[in-house]
Amino acid sequence: MPKRIIKRFMPDQQTIRNHKHLQFLGTLLHDPNIFHLNRRSVSGAFSVGLFMAFVPVPLQMVLAAIGAIMLRVNLPISVALVWITNPLTIPPIYYFAYKVGTWILQTPARDIQFELSTHWLMGELGVIWQPLLLGCFVSGVSFALLGNLSIRLFWRLYVGRNWLRRRQGRANKKTKK
């Protein structure tokens, strides 16, 4: 079952509950639903994590944790998926989101030369913020929905295949008797 695959990579519940950066959530971390590994919880966690990965703000992991707790989906998976946007992938992902936003708004895309500086951030971001935010929102919703549906489909196929194997195993045992 997918549970066995996922459990190998999951941190311990106590580790998460005692994590110093999550202490502000208090007793909300004691809800057992945020650690369940079932189709609904994992697919919902993919939705939360993928959506939050496209939110162009710092502290995406905190937002993913809050979203997972509010929606009662798997917390560790939600937080881990936010790392899709990391220092190496942020430029191409947000450029893609910017292009999506310009396409939706039907505005010409500017030739952007990215620089990691406050001057660039104040100058360029003031011009491209509308298509960037719209593209991030549309991309986040799209990838969240795609991730949710993909996990549900994968889970269903995996469980169905295991049921078929068990049924065939039982049939083989009956024929041997």
What is the three-class DSSP state of 115? Answer: coil
Structural domain count of the chain: 1
How many alpha carbons lie under 13 Å from residue 153 in its C-beta half-sphere? 6
- Does 1 score more than 50 pLDDT? no
Supply the pLDDT for residue 93: 92
**Cα–Cα distance measured from residue 104 to residue 139, given in angstroms and rounded to the nearest whole number:** 11
Angle of the 118-176 helix axis to the 39-53 helix axis, nearest 10: 160
**Cα–Cα distance measured from residue 174 to residue 170, given in angstroms and rounded to the nearest whole number:** 6
Q: CA nearest 98: which of 118, 127, 119? A: 127
For residue range 165-175, list pLDDT tens digits in order: 888 887 777 77
Mean pLDDT of the chain: 83
User: 140 Cβ partners below 8 Å, 6+ apart?
Assistant: 50, 51, 52, 53, 54, 55
For residue range 141-163, list pLDDT tens digits in order: 999 999 999 999 998 898 888 88
Look up the pTM and report it: 0.77
Angle of the 90-105 helix axis to the 118-176 helix axis, nearest 10: 100
Percent of the chain past pLDDT 70, that is, above it, reads: 81
Alpha carbon 27 to its chain's center? 23
Q: Look up the domain containing 28 and give its range.
A: 2-176
- Does 64 score more than 50 pLDDT? yes
For residue range 17-32, list pLDDT tens digits in order: 667 766 776 767 777 7
